[in-house]
Structure 1
Amino acid sequence: MGEFAKAVIADDEPILRHHLSRALADVWPELEIVAAAGNGIDALDAITTHQPDVVFLDIRMPELDGMAVAKALSKLEKSPHIIFTTAYREYAINAFEQNALDYLLKPLSERRLEQACDKVKARLAEHAGQHMASTFQGHDQLGSLIQQINQLSQPKPVEYLNWVKASKGDDIYLISVSDILYFKAEDKYVSVFKKNDGAPGGADEYIIRSALKGLVQQLNPDHFWQIHRSTIVNVAAIDKVHKDFTGRFSVLIGANKLPVSRSAQSLFKGI
């Protein structure tokens, strides 16, 4: 095939399509841009019509996204080499790096673009004269890549705390979060209050060396609400919510009355 090759650019941002076209003219002058598309459907049409050697394919596009286009291309008798482009790091960058196909992270780096183009040139030269073998290999690689991306880009289930390690005196306790009434931030630590009907106020107090800000992110928001910058409560432990004549809210948990900040009052609206 030599150094001459054809390419299609697919990106829903006209400025980015123009920028990529200009950059490719610098790093791969022999590459002919035969078409540019702004959505997945137009991209498929252009690829089917022009049979390019390489496609620069944005992942997030209207009509059909880049992954849907790639999946359709993997079923073609002759599939082009694909270089994905994306502004979103969450799209399984490791999966791209572990395959013969490549990716470009926006904003585009000329050095990375040149590396990606060199990879395609090498692939084209390697498979010249043995096109059928390269086609089937491309199908396998593209299918493998799509499967990895689909798996790795699925949202992972959030794992919330089930237990809290807290201290009382010289002893360390492992407390189930379901037994905790509320957390209250002090100067350099957080107090954990666990239900105890025989204790003053109906709660035992323990200490954990953890910032409240980090703690609230580890607790299930359906079960624990931050009602004040210094307080997180177990919703199931709330006995009642009191509203005084000034309109301020307080949460009552046993004998403990905990103020609710104005920003957190919306949590109790409609209850």
Structure 2
Amino acid sequence: MKILIADDEPLARQRLKRLVEENNPHHVIHADASNGLEALNQCIELQPDLVLLDIRMPIMDGLQTANEISKAKLNTRIVFVTAYDKYALEAFEKNALDYLLKPVKPTRLAQAIEKAAQFNNQPQAIEHATRSLSQPRQQLCAHTHKGLTVLNIQDILFFKADNKYVSATTTSHSVLLEDSLKALEKEFTPLFFRIHRNALVNTKAIQSIHKTSSGQFELKLKGCDELLTISRRHQAELNRFLRQKHE
């Protein structure tokens, strides 16, 4: 497999080259680049199977480079190699195969290269991956003060919008997401159901529904102390959904 290494630090390029060669001597380091523009030009000229791409580079950063590679419709897989976890969401939006944090562990690099090799050796895998983009994600990534957090969809009790922010709440904590409530509803229906213009709930976590003295309906979720308001507009739809679910 032909590999291009793009990093503005010479020592980082040398270390990656050594790790690649130790992983499999049949992999060929086709070229290296010290900035994003150089990497893009080499991808266009040399058509490598895989580019190991740093993010913070001069002239053109790695994310911009990945975007240009995609625009050029090159058959080059992208694995980001960076010291920063905060770009992970944007990186995967660029259809990156993997996202490795420096210092790169040999085992993680080997996994990423193997993933790229499978795409190159099995063209049908590309078609499968493309189809899977339309399927609901099994996990969501979110940024917290501790870094990048991964949430399993099944563990999320509800999504709630507050002005321009959307939070995902589990039994233990809440995190802010970059997704809109509308996009989440489209992706995760019927697992999540809209009960209010600002809330989607995990239908598997519904424990009970009760009516308050004011005539308002509230919903109780398993493992959650917060009671969620059901709007009158969505009450009938929710009742119908739950009846169909238990028929």
Structure 2 length normalisation: TM-score?
0.49
Structure 1 length normalisation: TM-score?
0.45
Larger-Rg structure: 1
